[in-house]
Amino acid sequence: MTVNVSDDLRETARRDPEGIALIEPRTDRRVTWAEFDQWADRVAQTLLARGVLAGQRVALVMSNGIDLAVAYYGVLRGGLVAVPINPRATPREISRMVAACSPKIVVGDAQSITQVRQADTGDSLIVVHRAAPQEGELRFGALLDQARDAAPVAPRDPESLAVVLFTSGATGLPRGVMLTHRALAADIDQLLQIESPPVITSDDVVLGLLPMFHVYGLNCVLALSVRAGATVVLIEEFHPGALLGDIVDHGITNLPLAPQVIQALVGLEGLAEAFANVRLIVSGASALDPDLAQAFHALSGKPVEQGYGLTETSPVVTTTVGDGREPGQLPPAGSVGRPLPGVEIALRDFLGQPAAPGDPAQVFVRGANLFSGYWPDGSDGPDADGWWATGDIGLLDDQDNLVLVDRLKETINVSGFNVYPSEIEEAIVDAPGVESVAVIGVEDERTGEAVVAFVVPDDPEGDAAPVEEAVRTIAAERLARFKVPSRVIVVAALPHSPTGKVAKGRLRALVRSEPA
């Protein structure tokens, strides 16, 4: 049993010390399992030597790469709590997350360090990676070269907190999801019980494109590969043509993807040739359109498996992998598969009663992979019987596959990332000339969903153009790029329900009724 997630790295390094663990095409760096393990030791030693105590937080505002993987495993090995943050987050967003979890250390890289420095990081020590440190900051390399020889001893409690990942909650603002070592390790255990075909093997070379500030990239790509002893090719930025070259050059066989990546790959020349030796493709993070799955299959010769999960479930709940289909056959359209071994799902109506067969209802989940509630007090976690309401609506088809129908939450899913309407509304309502705002998500072929802002101006008779421009300007200043509204629609008034709430369903209908 894995007690601390970093134990998996220690075991793989013992079993295959000279095997290649990580490849970074951007720098042409390669790291063996032994080196990866030793560097994680050094990070843990240095953090503990600087007075960071077990259970305290370390924020990692870093892009995909070898050093993020090393930092993550070093934090866990020291018994500390990792807080991965999107390196494209704005200073305002970083400030909020830092204020929420009070990390002792914030690590920023070349992509994020400007935003980190502009953020309110309180008393946190700033560690700088791939950029020059300023006065009072620490160079990332110091985490590796100021360490002792003795390996640190991590706390031996699987219920200790491993990661806090910020995602949606009842308020609409990001909330910290508390994932223990038990939860993260359980989801890996559950995935590895699938055998035909296996989700991963030690012979696989895995694409590490999905961002590691997202639980999919962190646990289902990096940590799963570490447990299996599979090489991970870490990609910092997605470029479709370059990705095909990486697949061929590094012999990548296992591709965890998001639908937006699949969409970008469709139509590229040489797709079938590049994917000739690919063993498995799995799509997650957001819904995959059945037409896109069919188009990709026709062009590449490879079926795309699908899965369903949430940050709160570490993340995988269901998958189509191993569902008994003939090799090469597409999963049933709309299906996200069956629960992993050890995971239970239940469909309940709005009264909490079991739904009738075939009726859409809210999806409830139970399993060892579930989170321990939201930071800091564990609120809104699983109930006394271990069940947790996902906020998603689904049904079971005639083969007991889960089919997702809708979501209860207002959360917008842009390229696999959660976007919270209330956060955007709060950011843009201060724009000059704006009286009130409402933000919704609408379907988008490129990103899955897109953000649309409806704005009521102070002066209904005035020119709408300056108001729209002011909203776009303040959004770009305050929000990460994927959260910036793709459209700003100036309206005379917002529709309201009898209880006074903005009737966002009517706003969505308004967008859908517009001519294409």
Q: Looking at the structure, do residues 57 and 156 belong to the same domain, yes or no?
A: yes
Q: Looking at the structure, do residues 128 and 274 belong to the same domain, yes or no?
A: yes
Q: Looking at the structure, do residues 360 and 484 belong to the same domain, yes or no?
A: no
Give a yes or no: residue 57 inside a domain.
yes
Question: The domain spanning residue 380 has which CATH number?
Answer: 2.30.38.10
Q: Looking at the structure, do residues 202 and 260 belong to the same domain, yes or no?
A: yes
Q: Looking at the structure, do residues 228 and 365 belong to the same domain, yes or no?
A: no
Q: Looking at the structure, do residues 11 and 71 belong to the same domain, yes or no?
A: yes
Q: Looking at the structure, do residues 419 and 353 belong to the same domain, yes or no?
A: no
Give a yes or no: residue 329 inside a domain.
no
Return d(Cα 186, Cα 183) in angstroms, integer: 5
| CB of 131 closer than 8 Å to CB of 117 | no
Give a yes or no: residue 332 inside a domain.
no
pLDDT for position 168 = 56
pLDDT for position 287 = 78
Give a yes or no: residue 386 inside a domain.
yes
Return d(Cα 206, Cα 219) in angstroms, integer: 13
pLDDT for position 499 = 45
pLDDT for position 169 = 47
Return d(Cα 436, Cα 428) in angstroms, integer: 9
Is 474 in a helix, a strand, or coil?
helix
Of the three residues 364, 385, 407, the one that is the final residue of a domain is 407
Give a yes or no: residue 1 inside a domain.
no
Q: Where do we find the tokens 């993340």?
A: 315
Q: What is the pTM of this model?
A: 0.86
Give a yes or no: residue 334 inside a domain.
no
Question: The domain spanning residue 182 has which CATH number?
Answer: 3.40.50.12780
Of the three residues 391, 407, 423, the one that is the final residue of a domain is 407
Question: The domain spanning residue 416 has which CATH number?
Answer: 3.30.300.30
Give the structural domain span for 232: 6-319
Q: Looking at the structure, do residues 369 and 431 belong to the same domain, yes or no?
A: no
CA geometry: angle 373, 375, 381, nearest 5 deg:
10
Q: Looking at the structure, do residues 122 and 178 belong to the same domain, yes or no?
A: yes
Give a yes or no: residue 247 inside a domain.
yes
pLDDT for position 285 = 79
Q: Looking at the structure, do residues 464 and 369 belong to the same domain, yes or no?
A: no
Of the three residues 319, 336, 357, the one that is the final residue of a domain is 319
Return d(Cα 454, Cα 516) in angstroms, integer: 19
Give a yes or no: residue 339 inside a domain.
no
pLDDT truncated to tens, each residue of the chain (516 aa)? 789 999 999 999 999 999 999 999 999 999 999 999 999 999 999 999 899 999 999 999 999 999 999 999 999 999 999 999 999 999 999 999 999 999 999 999 999 999 999 999 999 999 999 999 999 999 999 888 766 656 676 667 999 999 999 985 444 578 999 999 999 999 999 999 999 899 999 999 999 999 999 999 999 999 999 999 999 999 999 999 999 999 999 999 999 999 889 999 998 999 999 999 999 999 987 778 888 999 999 999 999 999 999 999 999 999 999 988 888 889 988 899 999 999 999 999 878 899 988 888 899 999 999 999 999 999 999 999 999 999 888 899 888 899 988 666 677 889 988 787 888 998 999 999 999 999 999 999 899 999 999 999 999 889 999 999 999 999 999 999 999 999 999 999 999 754 456 888 889 888 887 765
pLDDT for position 223 = 99
Q: Looking at the structure, do residues 253 and 233 belong to the same domain, yes or no?
A: yes
pLDDT for position 154 = 65
Helix axes 421-428, 464-478, angle to 10 degrees: 120
Domain count, the chain: 3
Q: Looking at the structure, do residues 284 and 354 belong to the same domain, yes or no?
A: no
